[in-house]
Amino acid sequence: AHYSKEFKEQAIKRVLLGNEAINAVALDLGLASRGMLGNWIRSCKENGYNVVIKKKGRRTNP
C-alpha cells in the first residue's frame, strides 16, 4: 500500500507531538505493521524533522 505524505505526517505527529504510542497509532490507522510507522519516524528524525515542522513562508532580513 502507498500512503500519502499527509497521511504519514499525521501519523508521525501523533507519536512525536501527541505522545501517543507507535503501536496504538499504527493500530488506529490500520497500518500493515507498526514497524512501518517506526520507519517513517526514524527517517523523519534522520531528515531533521522537516516532515513535521514546516516553516511558513520565508522571512527575509531587511
Tell me whether residue 52 is in a domain.
no
Whole-number pLDDT of residue 57: 55
Whole-number pLDDT of residue 45: 85
Range of the domain at 19: 5-46
The size of the chain, in residues, is 62
Tell me whether residue 17 is in a domain.
yes
Task: Provide the residue-wise pLDDT of the chain in tens; the chain has 62 residues.
Answer: 689 999 999 999 999 999 999 999 999 999 988 899 999 999 888 887 665 444 455 566 66
Return d(Cα 18, Cα 58) in angstroms, integer: 27
Tell me whether residue 54 is in a domain.
no
- Residues with Cβ within 8 Å of 44's Cβ and at least 6 positions away in sequence, in order, are 12, 16, 50, 51, 52
* pTM, two decimal places: 0.71
What total number of domains does the chain contain? Answer: 1
Tell me whether residue 12 is in a domain.
yes
Tell me whether residue 55 is in a domain.
no
Nearest to 53 by CA among 19, 16, 7, 21: 16
